Amino acid sequence: MIKKILIANRGEIACRVIKTAQKMGIMTVAVYSEADNLALHVAMADEAVCIGPAPSAESYLVQKNILQAIRDTKADAVHPGYGFLSENASFARALAREKIAFIGPKPRAITAMGDKIESKKLAKKAGVSTVPGYPDAIKNAKEAVKIAKKIGYPVMLKASAGGGGKGMRVAYNDAECLDGFVRATNEAKSSFGDDRVFAEKFIEEPRHIEIQVLGDAHGNVIYLGERECSIQRRHQKVIEEAPSAFLDEDTRQAMGEQAVKLAKAVKYQSAGTVEFIVDKNRNFFFLEMNTRLQVEHPVTELITGLDLVEQMINVAAGKKLTIKQADVKLNGWAMECRVYAEDPFRNFLPSIGRLSRYQAPSAVSDPDCIVRVDTGVYEGGEISMYYDPMIAKLVTWGPDRNAAIASMREALDAYYIRGVSHNIPFLAALMAHQRFIDGNITTNFIAEEYPDGFNPADAVHDDPNLVIAVGAVMHYSFQRRAAMISGQLAGHGRQVATDWVVVDGDDHHPVSVTMVDDDYTVTVGDTDMVVHTDWNMANPLFVGQINGADVCMQVSRVNVTYRIVHSGVQADLLVVSPNVAHLNRLMPHKAPPDTSKLLLSPMPGLLVSVSVSEGQEVKAGEELAVIEAMKMENVMRAEKDCVISDIGAEPGDSLAVDQVIMTFE
């Protein structure tokens, strides 16, 4: 039996593994970089060992440091989580030499499935349906175009050692293929130290659906249903759910059986995921196999009732699976949203800093539904520039898909984060989108629905009057408190008015507010609403009922306005008297500064290259510079014809957000 597990990872997945180990009575060891000395996983573990400086290349990816930590703590097993060394066969072999159990598959399976080129050949041999393409490494950009023409556009150029959307480019013509090959190769080399790129047919109207498999050392392999992971942005998963609303029982079984075939072909032991791309006719094709625990594993756990980390630990200890395929039953529906520290209104730029306020939801109003939060952060903790900007995985379960969506929307409303930007407004907008609710989704969903990025106007509230009513109640409460000031002259005390105007941008909403017992009656236009709440001005969550329906809104006072966040919509409301509202309409609006002659860095990152020189004439669409951020290359192009007048940064510079790179004439 395994007695002590070292978790060779950080963040939420390290905390997730520790929870199951504690439940099983197993001791845990956390490893951490100098930047993570106050991290949550360090506090949760029984022991903790520093393994190097902040950059992951000098800490979490340094095998000798982790091996030394294993020796020092006398751990007898290692769980790698996901990312970092989780799919590194040499690490698994090094542990085997030390007689340390690797809580994952054997090195042979990692090697076979870790190379996307070789894995497709193996899958085809095992009888698994594969995407048409060129399975070998492409030599150069010229050959890439030749191969793409033979396959037929559009094609997907993919890094052989890739993952997480890095080293991937879709090309619809020769020019995009030439540029895409260069970008995919550079990203692959930067991210994985392996610049091999292959090509395959790009399936249009595709869905990304994956099968969870579980195998043991005794030849038993089962599948645990599927996960729908089609909601993606730049090949990064945003929302996952289980099961898929698209699959029928026959397709589910066929995909599951093929996944098991592939797992058996490599004698797979542990939890793993076989990813498929599925077209509009439910034809499915093998994409890759992830030989590790997936980020989105909680949705499978919630619909099967299984603890996948526990299963992995038991398999690593040599135990047989205690369940057979016939025992696997899918119950209800689960949704997962990835909550990231990024600004959705600034093209999802990563956000770093301290979590000045952090309050995660723990329940929803429907007693039949469940909320789960997997996180590695806490209030006062820091989101570091060195690692993935994930804050948490928010997961809900309900008896059906509509219940899971409704619970997720409620949980997102109650997820209170301050100190860093986050993507909750975007997640809330996706959850409220009718096309998503209908299940009419593909991997192109976000690109099709938000072609110009996500903007505040894209978040539309179901009933704006609810927000207006809460703003009016907040103002009425503040006015009542102000009227309680001591020392007022008798007969001249401050009176609280009932008629106000709520100003929301250019919109003016006349309202009246009265209070009877503990309830507020708010009239917005011709609509009467009864608001019942025990909210006080120190609470950042306004929880109560409006006309009997439960509401939860995030509220704060910002200078003289009331900021309300609900269903992904942020409203900054000014509540004033009718006379002041009239004067407010006459106030001039300050125009924003003109930045049309500046190339500003849209994100913190590394300036990889500058493609122009001072005095050079450039045409619209021409490349100006390349910025690398979070291991992704971002090409900055000219928006119009211009002349470069000044270049203020050099390749190798670390750029801040909105730093001037160059100016135009």
Task: Determine which of 54-58, 476-480, 653-657 has the lowest per-residue pLDDT on average.
Answer: 653-657
Contact 472, 575 (CB under 8 A): yes
Instruction: Confirm whether 108-131+208-329 and 332-460 share one CATH topology.
Output: yes
Residue 316 identity: A
Q: Which pLDDT does position 459 carry in this prediction?
A: 82
Q: What is the pLDDT of residues 603-613, one digit of tens each?
A: 778 899 999 99
- The mean pLDDT value for 128-156 works out to 91
Supply the DSSP symbol for 454: -
CATH 3.40.50.720, domain 108-131+208-329, yes or no: no
* Residues whose CB falls within 8 Å of the CB of residue 72, separated by 6 or more in sequence, listed in order: 49
Kindly state the tokens that stand for 225.
Answer: 């249903």
Residue with tokens 């439910």: 282
Q: Is the pLDDT of residue 163 over 70?
A: no
The token duo for 238 is: 């945003």
Q: Compare 630 and 563 and report the one with higher pLDDT.
A: 563
Q: Which amino acid is at 380?
A: G
Structure tokens at 611: 């493609």
pLDDT for residue 347: 84
Beta strand segments in 517-604, E? 519-524, 527-533, 541-546, 549-558, 561-566, 569-576, 598-600
Cα 45 from Cα 7, distance rounded (Å): 9
Residue from 176, 228, 240, 288 carrying the catalytic annotation: 288
Query: What percent of the chain shows pLDDT beyond 70?
Result: 99
pTM: 0.84
Instruction: Residue count of the chain, please give it.
Output: 665
Q: Which CATH architecture has domain 598-664?
A: Beta Barrel (2.40)
pLDDT at 441: 96
Region 189-202: what's the mean pLDDT? 86
* Helix runs in 513-604, H state only: 578-584
Tell me how far apart the alpha carbons of residues 483 and 494 are, in angstroms, rounded to a whole number. 5
- pLDDT beyond 70 at 164: no
Active site residue 288: yes
Q: Model confidence at 631, in pLDDT bands (50, 70, 90)?
A: low
Residue 165 has pLDDT above 90, yes or no: no
Contact 238, 427 (CB under 8 A): yes
Identify the burial level of 217 via C-beta atoms within 10 angstroms of its C-beta, where 0-12 means exposed, 13-18 middle and 19 or more buried: middle
First CA to last CA distance, the chain: 71
Query: Distance between CA atoms of 313 and 319, rounded to whole angstroms?
Result: 9
Cα 576 to its chain centre, rounded Å, is 39
- For 406-444, the pLDDT digits (tens) are 999 999 999 999 999 999 999 999 999 999 999 999 999
Most confident of 10-24, 160-174, 472-486, 492-506: 10-24
| Cα-to-chain-centroid distance, residue 90 | 29
The superfamily CATH assigns to domain 132-201 is: ATP-grasp fold, A domain (3.30.1490.20)
Average pLDDT over residues 374-400: 95
Phi and psi at residue 215, to the nearest 5° = -130, 160
Instruction: Give 130's DSSP letter.
Output: B
Q: What does the pLDDT average to over 493-516?
A: 92
Using alpha carbons, list the distances in angstroms from residue 658 to 87, 452, 599, 633: 37, 19, 9, 17
Sequence-ordered alpha helix ranges (H) in 354-444: 401-414, 424-432, 434-437
HSE of 196 in the Cβ direction (CA atoms, 13 Å)? 12
Q: Which pLDDT score is estimated for 188?
A: 87
Q: pLDDT band at 116, cuts 50/70/90?
A: confident
- Mean pLDDT, the chain, whole residue set: 93
Fold of 4-103: Rossmann fold (3.40.50)
Please give the Cα distance from 254 to 630 (Å, whole number): 37
What pLDDT, on a 0 to 100 scale, did the predictor assign at position 592? 82
Domains of the chain by residue range: 4-103, 108-131+208-329, 132-201, 332-460, 464-484+495-584, 598-664
Structure tokens that stand for 299 in this block: 């949705």
Residue 317, pLDDT > 70, answer yes
pLDDT of residue 115: 84
In CATH terms, the fold of domain 464-484+495-584 is Glycoprotein, Type 4 Pilin (3.30.700)
d(CA 626, CA 190) in angstroms, rounded, equals: 14
pLDDT value, residue 445: 96
Q: Per-residue DSSP letters for 170-191? A: EESSHHHHHHHHHHHHHHHHHH
pLDDT tens, residue by residue, 231-287: 999 889 999 999 999 999 999 999 999 999 999 999 999 999 999 999 989 999 999
630 has pLDDT over 70:
no
The Cα–Cα gap between 306 and 304 comes to: 5
Q: Looking at 199-208, 269-278, 291-300, 463-472, which range is the least confident one?
A: 199-208
Give the confidence band of 495 by pLDDT, cuts at 50, 70, 90. Answer: confident
Residue 591 vs residue 182, higher pLDDT: 182
Contacts 24+ apart (CB under 8 A), 340-344: 340/389, 340/390, 340/391, 340/422, 340/423, 341/383, 341/389, 341/390, 341/391, 341/420, 341/421, 341/422, 342/389, 342/421, 342/422, 342/423, 343/421, 343/423, 344/421, 344/423, 344/425, 344/426, 344/454
Query: In this prediction, what percent of the chain has a pLDDT beyond 90?
Result: 79
> Architecture of domain 332-460 in CATH?
2-Layer Sandwich (3.30)
List, in sequence order, the alpha helices (H) in 212-363: 249-265, 297-304, 308-316
The pLDDT assigned to 135 comes to 76
**pLDDT above 80 (res 629):** no
pLDDT for 490: 87
Res 461: pLDDT? 87
